[in-house]
């Protein structure tokens, strides 16, 4: 199996990134697909595209995805209020929640978006070694069978136009939640046209919130809330352990009025 990864930049700023885990015979198709995606991103034509192909030497970790929870909110104000409630149920301190929201709203890298994620402990301290790059959960994908299950569920919910966003976010959130020490994740997209984001954890699942920012806002990113981690081991597993989602965890309902 091979990890095929793409990142694209313009004016030394991150535009897009994506990745696949594929058999040798599917490398060419994956490279072509990722190159086309880099060239057609809404944030503009890249000036630099890097596509890497790497044979996976480490055994692939097979996992079930987090369950998918769909929610309804009217706007980003309601969305952030829901995110706060969800994170509070997971025992994330309010000061950490507010700091995380402020970082994603204003740009965690001195006003700019990061390629990777913020790692925040329960004191609100940032632990990522590089405060401009962050850490990037990598080497992950979803199997064809699990992708088909997810696609059917998303189609039934009337969200097929967002399939790529939801699928990739669910896979990433599943890997992040599987790493020991992760309590929760808060994320929303930095794509200006996509307003959705999520709160994810092993306890709650992947809770999609359709509005966590206003349309046209190009700020976004992700925060991993952690506790009792060895930062080197944590970063190594997040960035290097290959994970393949082999089964979709299904659609789950939670009572929002009881949060």
pLDDT, tens only, 104-147:
999 988 888 888 999 999 999 999 999 889 999 999 999 999 99
Q: How far apart are CA 115 and CA 119, in angstroms?
A: 13
For 143-169, the pLDDT digits (tens) are 999 999 999 999 999 999 999 999 999
Q: Of 57, 76, 101, which residue constitutes the final position of a domain?
A: 57
E-strand stretches of the chain: 2-10, 13-22, 48-55, 61-64, 68-70, 118-120, 140-142, 182-188, 197-201, 205-209, 221-226, 243-247
Q: Of 57, 85, 104, which residue constitutes the final position of a domain?
A: 57
Could you tell me if 153 and 245 lie in one domain? Answer: yes
For 10-49, the pLDDT digits (tens) are 887 777 889 999 999 999 999 999 999 888 877 778 889 9
Could you tell me if 244 and 117 lie in one domain? Answer: yes
Residue 223 has pLDDT above 90, yes or no: yes
Could you tell me if 20 and 144 lie in one domain? Answer: no
Could you tell me if 82 and 44 lie in one domain? Answer: no
Cα–Cα distances in angstroms (integers) from residue 251 to residues 23, 67, 103, in the given order: 29, 6, 30
pLDDT of residue 16: 82
Question: How many domains does the structure of the chain reveal?
Answer: 2
pLDDT of residue 41: 73
Residue 258 has pLDDT above 70, yes or no: no
Residue 255 has pLDDT above 80, yes or no: no
Could you tell me if 203 and 148 lie in one domain? Answer: yes
Could you tell me if 9 and 87 lie in one domain? Answer: no
For 162-204, the pLDDT digits (tens) are 999 999 999 999 999 999 999 999 999 999 999 999 999 999 9
Range of the structural domain that residue 82 is part of: 62-258
């Amino acid at each position: 199996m091979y990890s095929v990864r793409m990142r694209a930049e313009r004016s030394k700023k991150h535009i897009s990134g994506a990745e696949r885990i594929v058999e040798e015979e599917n490398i060419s198709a994956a490279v072509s697909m990722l190159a086309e995606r880099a060239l057609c991103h809404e944030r503009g034509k890249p000036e630099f595209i890097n596509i890497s192909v790497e044979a996976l030497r480490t055994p692939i970790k097979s996992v079930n995805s987090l369950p998918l929870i769909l929610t309804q909110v009217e706007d980003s104000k309601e969305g952030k209020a829901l995110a706060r409630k969800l994170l509070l149920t997971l025992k994330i301190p309010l000061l950490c929640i507010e700091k995380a929201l402020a970082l994603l709203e204003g740009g965690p890298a001195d006003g700019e978006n990061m390629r990777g994620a913020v790692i925040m402990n329960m004191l609100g301290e940032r632990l990522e070694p590089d405060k401009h790059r962050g850490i990037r959960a990598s080497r992950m994908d979803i199997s064809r069978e699990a992708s088909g299950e997810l696609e059917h569920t998303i189609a039934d919910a009337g969200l097929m136009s967002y399939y790529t966003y939801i699928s990739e976010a669910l896979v990433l959130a599943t890997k992040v939640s599987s790493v020991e020490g992760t309590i929760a994740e808060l994320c929303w997209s930095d794509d200006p046209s996509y307003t959705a984001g999520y709160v994810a954890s092993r306890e709650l699942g992947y809770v999609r919130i359709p509005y966590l920012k206003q349309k046209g806002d190009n700020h976004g990113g992700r925060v991993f809330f952690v506790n009792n981690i060895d930062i080197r081991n944590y970063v190594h597993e997040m960035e290097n352990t290959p994970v393949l989602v082999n089964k979709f965890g299904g659609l789950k309902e939670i009572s929002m009025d009881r949060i």
